[in-house]
Amino acid sequence: AQSVAQPEDQVNVAEGNPLTVKCTYSVSGNPYLFWYVQYPNRGLQFLLKYITGDNLVKGSYGFEAEFNKSQTSFHLKKPSALVSDSALYFCAASGAGSYQLTFGKGTKLSVIP
């Protein structure tokens, strides 16, 4: 069975500092990996994905994520955090060709002015 772990319930970072939200996965075969963001009282918004190719993927709002196969990780990063980045971030994974997404429990990001 596939699984996704987000080891931090909450991440606090000062505005302007770099941020990292961690994610590790367990998927049979080649994984499809995703990051979604959920703002208060909103649905999930797609940020970025890794399917194949370059290990560093760039997404919306200046976010990027690095696929590391040896560490089975897909950490979300941003060079300079904004207060408006404060939200709940979900990592998700599926097996190649499978539609079944498995989500992590989410990490609450708070960017402090």
Partner 1 sequence: SAVISQKPSRDICQRGTSLTIQCQVDSQVTMMFWYRQQPGQSLTLIATANQGSEATYESGFVIDKFPISRPNLTFSTLTVSNMSPEDSSIYLCSVDADGGETQYFGPGTRLLVL
The backbone torsions φ and ψ at residue 71, rounded to the nearest 5 degrees and listed phi first, read -100, 0
- Which is closer to partner 1, CB of 16 or CB of 61? 61
Give the position of tokens 């760039």.
58
| CA pair distance 69, 8, nearest whole angstrom | 20
User: Which of 44, 66, 75, 82 is the binder for partner 1 (CB under 8 A)?
Assistant: 44
Is 58 one of the binding residues for partner 1 (CB under 8 A)?
A: no
Is 28 one of the binding residues for partner 1 (CB under 8 A)?
A: no
CB 108 within 8 A of CB 88: yes
Q: Compute the least distance from the CB of residue 15 to partner 1, in Å.
A: 26
Is 34 one of the binding residues for partner 1 (CB under 8 A)?
A: yes
Residues within window 74-113 making contact with partner 1, judged by CB under 8 A: 90, 99-101, 103-106
DSSP character for 72?
T
